[in-house]
Structure 1
Amino acid sequence: MSGGRTRLQRLYQDGSAKIRMPLVQGDPLEAVLINTAGGLTGGDRLGWAIGAGEGACVSITTQACEKVYRAAADHAEAKVSLRVGAGGRIAWLPQETIVFNQAAFVRRLDVELAEGAEGLILEATLFGRLAMGERTIGGSFHDRWRVRQGGALIHAEDFRIGQDIAARLERMAVAGGATAVATLLLVAPNAERLLEPARDIIGDRGGASHWSVGRSGKLLARLYAGDGYQLRKRLVPLVELLNGRAGLPKLWSL
């Protein structure tokens, strides 16, 4: 923080991982992540590390949907590390990840929140390309989240699916045939009061729950839909609700 505004202190970029900072008038400071390689395939490794200092407010999104292509060998991996100081807030709001047929992908998300810090974390995934007639999809997908606050683990999940992804998504206990899914996690003291409005937006194609965690609260929401368009119809207002005055990343509305 400097002069009452969040400002960039250090930026490092390497390889195909690029970062651009749109001009904004106030908080939150916005960053747009770009993978200039155009996607990921077997053997690729992509990492993002973002830190917000005490009292800082940061919003992160991506220039476009990340594409995970067919893997001839090995798997593609994306690692995200988020750190937030006391009184700070981070919104991790990438656009959807599109998983192609026979892709192999591992995504690891590690979040460290100081006491009094807040975080809004989103990951949305589209399995297959319906517009290209890709309705039968195989491969492997592993999503791992670890979120800590004040050093204590407050959220952990591991989602794995494969090799016949399409068949597993058909199961009622998994997605009931849906191919577009999203998970949002809000860690904030006011999370509980947003629970019922969130449920109204989600409707019967997902759900939301709240827990008290230390001096804060945790709201976890999951959505599923038949395609990316139907998912966004509810995802957009849900992000706007949970992200407060910061609202939706500007690139989402272009």
Structure 2
Amino acid sequence: MTTLSSIPVKKRAVVDSGHRFDAGRHWAASLTLGFGTRTDGDATITSMIKAHHFGPLRVQRPFYPEGRDGCCHVYLLHPPGGLVSGDALSVDVTVAAGAHALLTTPSANKLYKADSNSVAWTQHTHLKVADGATLEWLPQETLAFDGSRGEQTFIIELEDNAKCLGWEILGLGRPASVLPFVNGHLEQRFQVTRNGRPLWLERQSLDPSHRRFTGKWGQGGATVHATLWAIGLADPAEAVEALRAQLPANCRWAVTYRRGVLLVRYLGHERNEVWDLFQQARVILRPRLTGHEATVPRIWLT
């Protein structure tokens, strides 16, 4: 009987299992979700009408902590808990007119050290929000281990009066274990459009060997990078002033508003600090965006 251990290393790349041990390794997983509305008496209820998955990407059942006619909460599950060389994760979410969905995760996402061939991982997120729909994208943080290599692509397509509130939090290295991010390369790409017209296009390259990584004119050695966005506010100027007045005053965050997109940026060293900051910002922004108070997803309390 032939076993994997009996196959010469050079031939292991073509074993029938599909697992490769060279630079061509590729393990894909995808999740496609769709949200729509249905009527129950006088109530309009947001339902998860599509949930297709391939590989280790799943969802738990929808939750309605804000009432049956309130926002539909869904938890994205990735059982491996992180990305290794060759992983290719793809998440596609569509929210139909009138629906309101909130997506989050039960724990941090981990980006592990690349293998000996320096094979990269990829993570692609595509959110589509119809006219009159609302989407909240609130994952827990992503932690990049030293030596990780990969690319994150984030695309949001909005129709006329679509609304979106979300954040992305990235921690570099494991400071508590004295394991800084000194090798590897990460690239993040953000693209937000409304009716096909670009509102926010951004590319960020994180390379510890580049002077920008430690230079005061660049990242200044920061180990936590985070961005919160809110799109569709009725009075963005008032929201900006509320954030500046109510959030803790320090030099590690700033808020701007351009081309219909409100952005809160954080550059520092504390995951807990930015997590608390963004939760406070959501308390301020959500009523202004959706007309409803900010409800904390139950999974964050476990």
Separation in 2, partners of 1:250, 1:157: 32
In the TM superposition, 1:1-254 aligns within 5 A as: 1-3=37-39, 4-24=44-64, 25-26=67-68, 27-72=70-115, 73-164=118-209, 168-190=212-234, 191-200=236-245, 201=247, 203=249, 204-211=251-258, 213=259, 217-244=260-287, 245=292, 247=294, 248-254=296-302
**Cα separation, partners in 2 of 1:243 and 1:69, compared to 1, 3 Å:** same
Q: CA deviation at 1:136?
A: 4.6
Q: CA deviation at 1:202?
A: 5.7
Q: Which structure exhibits the higher relative contact order, with contacts defined as CA atoms closer than 8 Å and separated by 6 or more residues?
A: 1
Q: CA deviation at 1:168?
A: 4.2
Q: Secondary structure at the match of 1:175?
A: coil
Tell me the amino acid that sits aligned with residue 194 of structure 1: A
Separation in 2, partners of 1:77, 1:229: 26
Q: CA deviation at 1:98?
A: 0.1
Aligned-residue sequence identity (percent) comes to: 23
Q: Deviations over 1:88-136 (max 9, x none)?
A: 0101111100000000021101111110111113110000111211135
Q: Secondary structure at the match of 2:281?
A: helix
Q: Is residue 228–residue 278 contact of structure 2 (8 Å, CA) maintained in 1?
A: no
Separation in 2, partners of 1:71, 1:116: 42
Tell me the amino acid that sits aligned with residue 130 of structure 1: P
The count of corresponding residues between Structure 1 and Structure 2 is: 249
Q: Secondary structure at the match of 1:189?
A: coil
Tell me the amino acid that sits aligned with residue 225 of structure 1: G
Larger radius of gyration: 2
The equivalent residue for 2:12 is none
**Cα separation, partners in 2 of 1:121 and 1:115, compared to 1, 3 Å:** same
Q: Secondary structure at the match of 1:207?
A: strand
Q: Is residue 43–residue 75 contact of structure 1 (8 Å, CA) maintained in 2?
A: yes
Tell me the amino acid that sits aligned with residue 182 of structure 1: A
Separation in 2, partners of 1:33, 1:119: 18
User: If the length of structure 2 is used for normalisation, what is the TM-score?
Assistant: 0.77
Q: CA deviation at 1:41?
A: 1.3
Q: Is residue 91–residue 243 contact of structure 1 (8 Å, CA) maintained in 2?
A: no
Q: Deviations over 1:189-208 (max 9, x none)?
A: 32332112223416321211
Q: Is residue 63–residue 74 contact of structure 2 (8 Å, CA) maintained in 1?
A: no
Separation in 2, partners of 1:21, 1:126: 29
